[in-house]
Amino acid sequence: MKRAAAAVAALTAALTLTACGGDEDGAIHVFAAASLTEAFTEIGEDFERANPDASVVFSFAGSSTLAAQIGEGAPADVFASADAATMDTVVGDGHASEAETFARNRLVIAVPEGNPDGIAGLGDLAGPGLRVAVCAHAVPCGAASQTALEAAGVELTPATYETDVKATLAKLTLGEVDAALVYRSDVQADRDGVDAVAFAEADAAVNDYRVAVLTEAANPDAAEAFVAHLGSEAALETLTAEGFRTP
């Protein structure tokens, strides 16, 4: 009985400890918006090549989710958000002192390859029988979509308000919708089977991607180095290739 209890305790400890391993290893923990997945993964590898001592660990999720986690004390060194508003709340709560814009993203209309419905602009989305997926208002891409639609004066009833931009695009790649309002960078990343239709009103809703070193960073120097690296020639090139605009 005692031996069994000890074994259970040891096993539990082993499993839990390995799960949170790497806390003290000097890695840079970067919390980044989901839309940065492809670009940051590549930039991170590049950074590690340039700095053999450093290692970067990413956690990709919706900007608001990450902000909430930071608010609850998650161990992060760097935060990169997909919009200014989310970063403002993090700065406002004192988790970061200053943030800088390192990339911009524009909305596009994602359509199946070859654009079978011949969509040319936002106005076409309200057409009868057309199924459209957009992001929910609560997340940055949804807020941007709403701004753009209002600028275009288009009344759109989408089939669904998805919780993040990746899910929105997934509905298109799965063939369940005819069009989706997503970021240019997402279409770039999801190269197969999807075309992007640019539209003028996207200018009204450009997203500023901001990055900041967090005040609670365990590794502030390395974090600063990573943020500085985002301005490097190689990083800018990667961001552009993934469909972002650089400031």
Partner 1 sequence: MTAPAAPTDRRRGPHRRRIPVALLVPALLGLAFLVLPLLGLLLRAPWSTMPERLTEPGVLAALWLSLRTATAATVLSLVLGIPLAWLLARVDFRGRSLVRALVTVPLVLPPVVGGVALLLVFGRSGPVGSRLDEAFGITLPFSTAGVVMAMTFVAMPFLVVSVEGALRGADVRFEEAAATLGAGRWTVFTRVTLPLIAPGIAAGTVLCWARALGEFGATITFAGNFPGRTRTMPLAVYLALETDLEAAIVLSLILLAVSVIVLASLRDRWTAAP
Chain positions contacting partner 1, by CB under 8 A: 1, 62, 64-65, 68, 131, 133, 136, 138-139, 158-163, 167, 171, 174-176
Query: In this complex, which beta carbon is closest to partner 1, that of residue 58 or of residue 161?
Result: 161
**Among residues 31 and 226, whose Cβ is nearest to partner 1?**
31
Minimum distance from residue 85 beta carbon to partner 1 (Å): 10
Which lies closer to partner 1 via its Cβ, residue 4 or residue 17? 4
Structure tokens at 8: 């259970």
CB 143 to partner 1: min, Å: 10
Q: How far is the CB of 212 from partner 1 (least distance, A)?
A: 19
* Closer CB to partner 1, 43 or 141, in the complex: 141
Q: By C-beta, is 1 or 19 nearer to partner 1?
A: 1
Taking the complex as a whole, how short is the minimal distance between the CB of residue 247 and partner 1, in angstroms? Answer: 26
| Geometric angle at alpha carbon 57, from 68 and 219, rounded to 5° | 80
Minimum distance, C-beta of residue 1 to partner 1, in the bound complex (Å) = 7
* Closest distance to partner 1 from the beta carbon of 245 (Å): 25
Residue 104 or 131 with smaller CB distance to partner 1: 131
